Structure 1
Amino acid sequence: MDILSLLGLLVAFGAIIGGNFIEGGKVQSLLQLTAFIIVMGGTLGAVLLQTPLKVFMRSLKMLLWVFRPPAIDAERQIENIVEWCQLARKEGLLGLETLSEQLEEPFSRRGLQLLVDGREPESIRSIMEVELESLEEQAMHAAKVFEAAGGYSPTIGILGAVMGLIHVMENLADPSKLGEGIAVAFVATIYGVGSANLILLPIAGKLKSIIHAQGRVREMTIEGLTAIAEGENPRAIEAKLRGYLH
C-alpha cells in the first residue's frame, strides 16, 4: 500500500472541506448531483471518444498502481543479475535455461531465454530495447488517459457553470429557482478544477513516475544481460549496474 497516495487524498480534501467549514460554509453546499453528472459524465465521454478500448482498459488496471504499485527493487535485481552471471560462468549459458523457466517477471525471462539461445550481445540488446520501448509506450498511453481527463474536466466544469447561468437567466422571474441554478454553476466549476488538480493529474504523474522507475530497472537488466553475454566477470557487472541506483 502506498501510504503517500492515501495521505495525499486525505490532506487535499481535508484542507478544502476544512477551509470551507472555517469560512462558515456547509458540506451540503458542495454536494450537487447535477453538477457531478455534468462534469464527470462529460469528462468520461470525452476520454472514451479519444481513447481506444485496449488503452482505456489498461488504464483502469494501472489505476491500482496508485495505491498498490508494482514491486520495483533495483538492488534485488542487481543481485539476481550477479547470480545469473555466476551461474553462467560455472555451468555455461545453458545452465540458465531452468532458471529462465522459473522466472515470473516476463521481461527478465525473455532476456534469459535470449542468453540461453546463444544470441550475440548486440542482438540481445537490440531485441530487449525494442521490447522495452514497446512496454513503456503502452504504459505511457494508459497513463495519459488520466492526463487527458485532467485536461478536459476543468473545461467541462466551465460548461456546467455556463449551463447553470443559463438556467438562472431563464428563471429571473422566479426567485425561488435562482439559488439552485447559481449553485450548480459554481459547484460545477469546483468539480471540474478540483477533480483535475486533486485527482486526475496527480494520478497521471504518479503512474508516469512508476513507469519511469520500471524503465530504469529494465534498462539495467538489459545492460546486465548484455554484459553476461560478453563474458564480463560478476564484480565488474555489479559495479557497472550500481551506477543505475544513482
Structure 2
Amino acid sequence: GIYFSNRGVFLPWPAPAAGFAVWAAGGLAGLAGAVIAYRLLLRVRLETGRRTYPGLAAAAVLAAGLAAGWTLAPAPPFTVSVPTLAGFNFRGGASLTVQFSALTAGLAFYTGAFIAEVVRGGIQSVPRGQTEAAAALGLRPSLIMRLVILPQALRVIVPPLTNQYLNVIKNSSLAVAVGFEDAFFVARTVFNQTGRTFETVAIVMATYLAFSLLTSLLMNLYNRSVQLVER
C-alpha cells in the first residue's frame, strides 16, 4: 500500500527482474516501429487527405512491441517492490521525502504559472484568420490546433520557454531553504570538512553551467527545427 508519515511518502515501485532486458528490447523495437508508422501514415494523410489515424496506429505498434517482449521474456520483466514497516522505518518501494516533495511542488507551481502564460501568449499570437481558414477547409478543431496553430505558435513559445527551463535549474538551489540535500548543501558540507572553498565553489559553478549549457543547446536545436525556413 501507500504510506504517509512525517518522513515522507512511501509507495510501491516496479523493480527490474530477469526478463527486463528482453521486454525492454521489445519496447524499443515497438517504439521505433511506432515512429516509422506515424510518420508514414501522417505523410499519406497530408498528401492524399485520407484519414489514416497515425496516432492510433503508432499506439498499436508500440503496444504490440511491449506485448511481444513480455511474451518472449523468459521470466517476468519486473516485480513490484512494496514498502513494509521494519522497525521505525519503511523498507522497499520508493520514497519521497518531505523536503523533496516541498521543493518539487514549489518549483512546479511557480514555474508552471509562467509556462502557462508563455503557451497562452504563443497560441493567441497566431492570427484568428488562420483558424477560420482551416475551419473553412473542413479541418477538425484538434487538427487545426496541431497542424495550423501550434506550428506557428511554437516559434513564439520556444525562446521564452527556454528561459523558464533555465530558471528551474537555477531556482533549484533554493532547496537548501527546505533542508533538501542539493548541490549547495553538499558543497557546504564538503567546505566545512575540507576547507577548500575555491575548489568547492568551482565544482558547483561548473555543474550549474553544464546543465544550463546543455538545456540551451537542446532548446536551440529544437527552436531551429520549428523556425520558418526562408527561401
| Shared fold per TM-score greater than 0.5 | no
More strand by share: 2
More helix by share: 1
> Larger Rg: 1 or 2?
1
Greater RCO (CA < 8 Å, at least 6 residues apart): 1
Q: TM-score, normalised by structure 2?
A: 0.30
Q: TM-score, normalised by structure 1?
A: 0.29
